[in-house]
């Protein structure tokens, strides 16, 4: 078997690792309670509630089985393992849709949308290099551009000559870089964030308010992961509650309050997503992309690949049409009525409808 072989894969976490997670959660050394005013981080009561669920009735094997109901593959690209869900449509000539997560997401983020999308499309959901089942990466230098080249190679090895790419968070940036690196094979990109296309001051009040809040309140994680990712990784790899709090805070802060993603309906998906980072020990390798971005701050968008933008009202940052339109071949602009940074979990029905429309109507009209 060569390194370029694409082989079937199943998620099979050793029982010893599952037991170790429960044991560590039971022995959590909690921070002392203090009477503090103001917003200083995720609330202790919320973290305790999530940890109690994670170490109690929550069952990893249920979520492992949910992932394993999808066909999966791995292959070695540029010295690292690359994993993907690969669900083929019943129609051989169906279009191909690639779904790209970011941080702190994983393939779990798209678990609710794969099957309905696969009714009319072949669906490929890679774990980005360094994330989840594609990690840890053995070396540094995994910029979003290098990740894009790895995804392009994965699609080629799967036998796909033409495909559409959707991405959010870092997935938006990798989708953008795919359009630049592989324009002959990318039929279109659809993104929820437009990194590098910043509006003029005062161009959009909503976006300005979101940007101000991010700069003043929500961006601390970025600074840490962009400057000292290894220092952070020791704690997150050793403490499941540390990893849980670090990820759950993003789900609390970056989502539509109406989604209640840490409530009963979707809490278990957030815990499964966190468990993927925990079991694969990818807290450190996933954070490296922030460091690489700081060291290689390239922003380039294709002006020829058809581009769709979907604006989620409660996302971390909001695209502004006046900044995006001159920079890309904009064929679709949608503003959804609800949802935030994780639409595959928050508003899966809206995301499915949006992607179907983009692939089957907007791109077909080109």
Point out the catalytic residue in the list 86, 190, 290, 315. 290
Q: 185 lies in a domain?
A: yes
SS3 118: coil
Average pLDDT over residues 74-90: 97
Identify whether 238 is a catalytic site residue. Answer: no
Identify whether 290 is a catalytic site residue. Answer: yes
CATH number at residue 330: 3.40.50.1820
Q: 46 lies in a domain?
A: yes
b/e per residue 42-57 (b: at least 16 CB within 10 A): beeeebeebbebbbee
Average pLDDT over residues 297-313: 94
* Residue 248 preceded by cis peptide, ω within 30: no
Residue 154 confidence (pLDDT) above 70:
yes
Q: 105 lies in a domain?
A: yes
CA distance 144 to 129: 10
User: What band does 321 get if pLDDT is binned at 50, 70 and 90?
Assistant: very high
Identify whether 299 is a catalytic site residue. Answer: no
The lowest-confidence range among 31-45, 65-79, 97-111, 172-186 is 31-45
SS3 294: helix
Q: 1 lies in a domain?
A: no
**Segments forming the whole domain that contains residue 306:** 7-362
CA distance 301 to 304: 9
Q: Return the pLDDT at 1.
A: 43
pTM equals 0.97
Point out the catalytic residue in the list 83, 86, 131, 169. 169
Q: 133 lies in a domain?
A: yes
CA distance 255 to 343: 9
Number of structural domains, the chain?
1
pLDDT digits (tens, 9 = 90+) for 11-51: 999 999 999 999 999 999 999 989 988 889 999 999 999 99
């Amino acid at each position: 078997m060569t390194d370029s072989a694409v082989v079937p894969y199943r998620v099979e976490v050793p029982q010893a690792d599952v037991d170790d997670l429960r044991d560590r959660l039971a022995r959590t050394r909690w921070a002392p309670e203090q009477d503090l005013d103001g917003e200083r981080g995720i609330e202790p009561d919320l973290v305790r509630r999530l940890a109690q669920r994670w170490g109690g009735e929550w069952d990893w094997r249920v979520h492992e089985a949910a992932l394993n109901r999808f066909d999966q593959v791995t292959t070695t690209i540029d010295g690292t393992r690359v994993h993907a869900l690969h669900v083929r449509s019943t129609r051989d000539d169906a279009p191909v849709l690639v779904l790209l997560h970011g941080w702190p997401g994983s393939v779990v983020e798209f678990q609710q949308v794969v099957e309905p999308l696969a009714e009319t499309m072949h669906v490929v959901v890679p774990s980005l290099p360094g994330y989840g089942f594609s990690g840890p990466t053995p070396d540094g230098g995994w910029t979003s551009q290098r990740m894009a080249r790895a995804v392009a190679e994965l699609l080629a090895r799967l036998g796909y000559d033409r495909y559409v790419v959707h991405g959010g968070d870092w997935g938006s940036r990798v989708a953008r870089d795919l359009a630049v690196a592989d324009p002959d094979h990318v039929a279109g990109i659809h993104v929820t964030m437009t990194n590098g296309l910043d509006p003029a001051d005062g161009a959009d009040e909503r976006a300005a308010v979101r940007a101000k809040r991010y700069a003043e309140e929500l961006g601390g994680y970025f600074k840490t992961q962009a400057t000292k990712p290894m220092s952070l990784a020791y704690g997150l790899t050793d403490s499941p509650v540390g990893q849980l709090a670090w990820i759950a805070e993003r789900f609390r802060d970056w989502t539509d309050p109406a989604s209640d993603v840490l409530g009963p309906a979707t809490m278990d998906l957030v815990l499964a997503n966190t468990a993927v980072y925990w079991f694969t020990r990818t807290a450190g390798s996933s954070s490296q992309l922030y460091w690489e971005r700081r060291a290689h701050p390239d922003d380039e968008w294709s002006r020829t690949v058809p581009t769709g933008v979907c604006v989620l009202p409660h996302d971390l940052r909001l695209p502004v049409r006046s900044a995006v339109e001159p920079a890309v071949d904009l064929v679709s602009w949608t503003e959804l009525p609800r949802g935030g940074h994780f639409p595959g979990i928050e508003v899966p029905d809206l995301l499915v409808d949006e992607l179907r429309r983009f692939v089957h109507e907007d791109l077909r009209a080109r």
